[in-house]
Amino acid sequence: MGERGTPGNPGDDGIGLPGKQAATLLPGTSFDLETGTFTCSVSGTYVFIFSVCKPSAGSELFVNLRKNDDVVVTGYNTGPNRYGSLSGNAVLVLQRRDTVYLTMRGRAGGAASHDTSFSGFLLYPE
């Protein structure tokens, strides 16, 4: 795993996702919008979903959904079209203080039109 990035500096394998806007962030949610990291505060089973837009032809885009630095799901797109997308989802059993976040390599787009998203919810508590 490469260096985990910071906003504006995706690093080797960094977050680097555009926009970092929250359409809905419920009170009590343990999501750090600055780093794009969810930190579990209620142990249980969670569902996470991501969808990422690749804005340029011939480019590569890899996106990993990670739990505590371990890759859980990988999305990959090298399509020749100007726009492409990739998505993934996972059902994860989390304990308090576990973290879930996305890392990527390549260029993602869609900040203005919300073509890129990362969401999750508690399916049931432990």
Per-residue confidence (pLDDT) for residue 65, from 0 to 100: 93
pLDDT band (50, 70, 90) for residue 54: confident
Strand pairing class (61-67; 31-32): unpaired
Q: Using CA atoms, how far apart are residues 10 and 45, in angstroms rounded to an integer?
A: 29
Per-residue confidence (pLDDT) for residue 22, from 0 to 100: 58
Q: Using CA atoms, how far apart are residues 50 and 48, in angstroms rounded to an integer?
A: 7
Strand arrangement of the beta sheet that strand 37-39 belongs to: 31-32, 37-39, 99-106, 61-67, 70-77
Strand arrangement of the beta sheet that strand 44-54 belongs to: 84-94, 44-54, 117-125
| pTM confidence score | 0.78
Amino acid at 14: G
Quick: pLDDT tens for 61-116.
888 999 998 999 998 887 777 777 889 999 999 999 999 998 888 777 655 566 77
- Whether 4 has a pLDDT exceeding 70, the answer reads no
